[in-house]
Amino acid sequence: MPVAIRPWIGCLALFLLPVGVSADDAGHSAIEQERFFEAFVRPVLIKHCSECHGAKKQFAGLRLDSWPSITEESDTAPVVIPGDPDASLLIQAIRRESGLEMPPDEPLDEKSVEVLAHW
């Protein structure tokens, strides 16, 4: 059963995208992507992931506290597959799929999962 798009995502899309551009267009500007990352994604990653995947510690060779570090590969594979959240290891881990469970102690709340998957 698909998750309904939350009203805040719709409002966010209106704020970030120019009129006439859909969320699926490849024409997202780098500024829009960075704005979304800094406003919504990075706070989730810092709060829930940086203890084990931050500047001081990079478990499994993975650092999640900055955009450049996320685009680099971990010890095993690319962590994020742009445009394909289902194939992204990060999304599989936060959804607790394929034997991956991150964060290990307690699952992320639904809103945080939606933000990361949307990104």
Task: Read off the pLDDT of residues 80-98 as tens digits, 9 standing for 90 and up.
Answer: 888 899 999 999 999 999 8
Measured CA to CA in angstroms, residue 69 lies from 3, 64, 74, 84, 106 at distances of: 29, 6, 9, 19, 24
Q: Which stretches of the chain drop beneath a pLDDT of 50?
A: 1-26
- CA angle, residues 38, 41, 47, in degrees to nearest 5: 105
Q: What is the DSSP letter of 41?
A: I
What pTM was estimated for this model as a whole?
Answer: 0.70
The per-residue pLDDT of the chain, averaged, comes to 79
In the prediction, which pLDDT does 8 show?
A: 45
